[in-house]
Amino acid sequence: MITIDKATESILDSKAEPRLIVLSDEITHQSVANPIASIIQYNISDHDIEYDNRTPILLYINSGGGDFDSAMALADIITKSRTPVYTYCIGACCSGGALVFISGAKRYISCYAFVMIHGMNVETSGSTHGFAELSAHFMDIENMYDEFIVSKTKITVENLRHKKHTVQDWYLTAEQCLELGIADGYMEEIV
């Protein structure tokens, strides 16, 4: 059973078919392919429906993270979706899972769930000749990651960078997620 908020409950109680997507895996190109395709398909289906009349897509996330580019691909689709995507943190939304969670039009968290944000982990191989260029690229990606989080929450750039430099992994309880604007509310009821 999954706990949900009252707004989502009314959607599920309506005659509209619930639009449920579950991402409960490591974030990879393969694991985000179906959620991306589903969100695009719902937008195509809703093409002639006004924004306020569209049935939201409900994305439940329990992920320890994964590929940054895969997480950003899904987050980009979610933020550009004309049909609202409500995200739900169940269990854990870590690293790339946090990015996907934060991208929701409305974000709800289970009272026992947590979010983890951290600096990017980088693995590389090759010659030292290309390392400076690659390092600059990764710094650009890190800045993009920071800007995305700051733009969607109450976390300041200074606070985010301080946390990333003083703790390896910044774990946030559901209550802290509400205080920092990472989540909009708790999931309240069980379907």
Q: What is the pLDDT of residue 179?
A: 98
Q: Which of 12-16, 47-51, 183-187 has the lowest mean pLDDT?
A: 12-16
Confidence of residue 1 (pLDDT cuts 50, 70, 90): very low
Q: What is the pLDDT of residue 15?
A: 54
Confidence of residue 130 (pLDDT cuts 50, 70, 90): low
DSSP run (H or E) holding 185: strand 185-186
Confidence of residue 127 (pLDDT cuts 50, 70, 90): low
Mind listing the pLDDT tens digit for each residue in 64-104? Answer: 999 999 999 999 999 999 999 999 999 999 999 999 999 99
> Could you tell me the CATH number of the domain that includes residue 171?
3.90.226.10
Q: What is the pLDDT of residue 126?
A: 64
The 10 Å Cβ neighbour count of residue 104 is 26
Q: Does residue 7 have a pLDDT over 50?
A: no
Please identify which residue in the block is written with the tokens 């039009």: 105
Mind listing the pLDDT tens digit for each residue in 20-51? Answer: 999 999 999 999 999 999 999 999 999 999 98
Domains contained in the chain, number: 1
What residue numbers bound the domain in which 49 lies?
3-190
* Closest by CA position to 86, among listed 102, 73, 62, 74: 102
Mind listing the pLDDT tens digit for each residue in 138-184? Answer: 777 788 888 999 999 999 999 998 887 888 899 999 999 999 999 99
Q: What is the pLDDT of residue 11?
A: 45
